[in-house]
Amino acid sequence: MPELPEAETIATQIAQRLIGQKLDRVVHIRNDIIKNNTKRCPRWLTNSAINRVYRRGKRIVISLGDDHGIIVYLGMSGQLDVQPASEPPRPHTHFRATICDSDQELRFSDTRRFGGIRFFTTQGNAEPEGLAELGIEPLIMKPREFKLALNCRRQIKALLMDQHAIAGLGNIYCDEALFRARIHPLELADTIDEKRVNDLCRAIKSILKAAIRAKGSTIQSYQHAEGAGGFQNSHRVYGRAEQPCTACDTPIEKIVVGGRSTHYCPVCQVAPTKP
């Protein structure tokens, strides 16, 4: 599933191709991927200059003018890219829009269809629907903000994956950050002392930045414009069940937390004591 580094990579690459361009016409859109109540494309979608492409959490935002735009939800298997209009669309391409004065198309495909598109119009500086409910951004969060987000009695792994609390983290980078900070995934968030909260805050930022430099992690279907990501080669725990820990040689264990597979080292990440 694309997480923050993968979404950041795609947004950066799309920005290089789209900023200053205009969408000409929508060639194809599958109605059930539209997350608005409407099933029609708004008129402002075409012939408006694209002035910004950025990431918010795991979502990609294409800003058209001052108060209109598109939010792309990548979901489990979504891919967003710019391709030659003459090139046959990949299977499960649900949105295609031509780009003015070019032979290129903006395309969104999604095999499993958990993703989609939302059209938005904003008023003033308000965040559009589809972004306003997201939590703090991990790359720019302050330690105090992070500590406040952890001030609840929930298992730390489940809380880190809650997009309403912290936007952008998923299974891969939660496991990797918790390992680096030496925190067990089942530890209750409000029991973690200030030093380890700060350690975890630094670990999250460091791992996300490294993953962005590697253009994300390709586990199954994720691809960016230049191919596969490379950070999967640096994973210390994720996907390494029963393999030796890189720090202590203890076999990595796998459990389920919040319905998701979770990898950790039972020696480096000591289990919380039962009350």
The residues assigned a catalytic role are 2-3, 58, 260
Closest Cα to residue 17, out of 97, 106, 95? 106
The sheet with strand 93-99 has its strands ordered as 23-29, 93-99, 104-110, 78-84
How many CB atoms are located within 10 Å of the residue 144 CB? 10
Q: Cα–Cα distance between 80 and 61 in angstroms, integer?
A: 11
How many CB atoms are located within 10 Å of the residue 273 CB? 7
Tokens of 119: 């059209």
Identify whether the C-beta of residue 94 lies closer than 8 Å to the C-beta of residue 106: no
Tokens of 98: 């031509």
**From the centroid of its chain, how far is CA 206?**
16
Q: What angle do CA 208, 186, 254 make, to 5 degrees?
A: 75
- Phi, psi for 29 (deg, rounded to 5): -150, 135
Tokens of 10: 């795609």
Largest CA distance in the chain: 66
Q: Cα–Cα distance between 46 and 196 in angstroms, integer?
A: 49
3-state secondary structure of 93: strand
- Residue 187 CA: distances (Å) to CA of 176, 183, 247: 15, 7, 21
